[in-house]
Amino acid sequence: MFSLERQNEILEIVNAKKSVSVEELANELFVSSATIRRDLKVMEDMGLLKRSHGGAMSFTSSTEAPAFLVREQENTIAKKVIARLAIKFIKNGDSLFVDSSTTVGVLMPMLNDFKYLSVTTTGLKNALLLSQTNNIKVYIAGGIVENHSNSIIGTDAIDFISRIHANVAIISCLGVDLNRGYTDANIEQAKVKQQMRKNSDKVLMLCDSTKFNKTFMCTDFDFGSIDYLITEKTPPIEYVEKIANTKCKIITPENTNF
């Protein structure tokens, strides 16, 4: 078995079990413990998992975000459906905020169909994707590059965003909780998104269905702070009922009335 193939299998096992020992992996993949330890070191350096004493664990706690490379490959079909819905809120000449999320990232190549857009982002990958398009003026906030997340955070990033006005802010989150609203893994990410909201005419929350009933440490927004929740299918009924009491509208393939 080639190392890349073996590492893919390791990642699947770790994500499924959340925590696994070196011995378990060695027995399951029929290789030595030394080989597994080398693989885990490489994978941790890539931000795919977190090594623990005697094994490895996935990024699943409420204070840790899944590694960017993992999130980029998750729920790709749902993200494309959501992106096609979100594109309907954009028009030629708009100024946009876009965050660093992989969900929002799927939207970036689609912006090439517009003219005279100005896009400000805190995402390194999203800025790179935008640089390959035409007719888009791209601004990237300065600040601290957060490990494993592809994000620029910190007071400098917030200050940069505070000097810009956007017609539309397009953001995502890591989890949606009925009581806590839209959540993320750290306060720095939340502050950046809150500043984007403050300086925007309207805010789109792009959120696939797997994020409902997941809670992370920091609240980005309550349900009433977002103008449109865009998802690939109707959320659980308790969320629909709660959001119905706010100004927010839920947009799905079956409900595109905005």
Beta-bridge partners for 200: 166
**One domain, residues 84 and 210:** yes
Whether 63 shows a pLDDT value over 50: the answer reads: no
Q: What CATH number is given to the structural domain containing 204? A: 3.40.50.1360
Reported residue count of the chain is 258
Domain interval for residue 22: 3-58
Q: What is the 3-state secondary structure (H, E, C) of 55-111?
A: EEECCCCCCCCCCHHHHHCCCHHHHHHHHHHHHHHCCCCCEEEECCCHHHHCCHHHH
Query: Which of 9-13, 72-76, 157-161, 188-192 is the most confident on average?
Result: 157-161
Band (pLDDT 50/70/90 cuts) for residue 62 is very low
Instruction: Report, as an integer, the average pLDDT of 68-83.
Output: 68
**One domain, residues 47 and 166:** no
* pLDDT single digits (tens) 170-185: 999 989 999 999 998 8
Domain end marker among 12, 37, 58: 58
**One domain, residues 81 and 157:** yes
Under 8 Å between Cβ of 250 and 231: yes
Domain end marker among 58, 81, 97: 58
Q: What's the confidence (pLDDT) of residue 60? A: 52
Within-domain flag for 257: no
Q: Residue 148 and residue 30: Cα distance in Å, rounded?
A: 30
Q: Based on the structure, what is the number of domains in the chain? A: 2
**One domain, residues 51 and 124:** no
b vs e for 139-170, b when ≥16 Cβ sit within 10 Å of the residue's Cβ? Answer: ebbebeebebbbbbbbeebbebbeebebbbbb
Q: What's the confidence (pLDDT) of residue 114? A: 93
Within-domain flag for 65: no
DSSP 18: S
Within-domain flag for 256: no
**One domain, residues 21 and 121:** no
